[in-house]
Structure 1
């Protein structure tokens, strides 16, 4: 859905740009190639300056509107083709935060990722709050490897399919929330921040 919104905004931007280009092309043709009543006499276009200024102002206004008011309120999205891309994202995403809360209905992605386990372990040793929330208890080998990490078992019978990862939950205004859904090669991750989804980050906290 977010990708569709972005594409729609870019489509409007392209339409505006093409309209401005056509208008400028017409003005250039009238100014340089259209002849007046006498040979070698160009038609007088007293309002040409105003027309050119209006076209330029339109382009600038649309760009500023999209850049400053629109796009910053849209969450980031990415689509992973394979599990390796998702694991790399999780490593980078969690590494960028000062705390992390992971909500997942399965932990196969964690059990097979020793690098991510080391990242979580190092953050926990540094006194950073790390929470992993699952519907079922994790295997003992994972719990033992992640000493210092808080494990919460919800015992839900119908847990959500999406995986939620919240970082910087203890820093108001700096929260970032990643929601993963779907399967590879169409595994979509949507990242919200304080601009694009403050109410979502707050509800997860």
Structure 2
């Protein structure tokens, strides 16, 4: 039985599906971000200190997102173009303080949850089947080292079954969620199946909204 479910990337599909399945749209640090596995590990290990530092954020992908060079996290939804459809460096500079404040609040929320008695299920969506069991063991060790006494498990979701599942160790489980071409939200039925048997404290109302509103 889990008190909370927190996504650890890879991108927007996992955030949408976790919120749909749990019925809880309360924002967490890695929601709606586009980031590699190493960015997740390094951000947790560094207690979020290297994210969104002044002078380290720049337009990326022809101005369709902002890239934080300090963490290699891509922000598609937090910086807005002042005109047109693409971000500029002045846009980022003007908005950086506000975005930093949001993510500092989310980092505080993370620390509060990890320091509480709550039992948390962390979900990492390995959307391109890039990881191995050793990577998930390293992620679990990173979380346990950063937050001693924290009660949590990891759910590793891939497109196909891992060949080394036997090496995952305690507190880590895996599942599969096949991609659904043309739908960034992913396959609802596949995600439901991956969460079959997972129990959360309190009611789990289903939600259907696809917006990205985040109340910090």
Greater RCO, CA 8 A, separation 6+:
2
Greater percentage in helix: 1
- What TM-score comes out, normalization by structure 1 length? 0.29
- What TM-score comes out, normalization by structure 2 length? 0.28
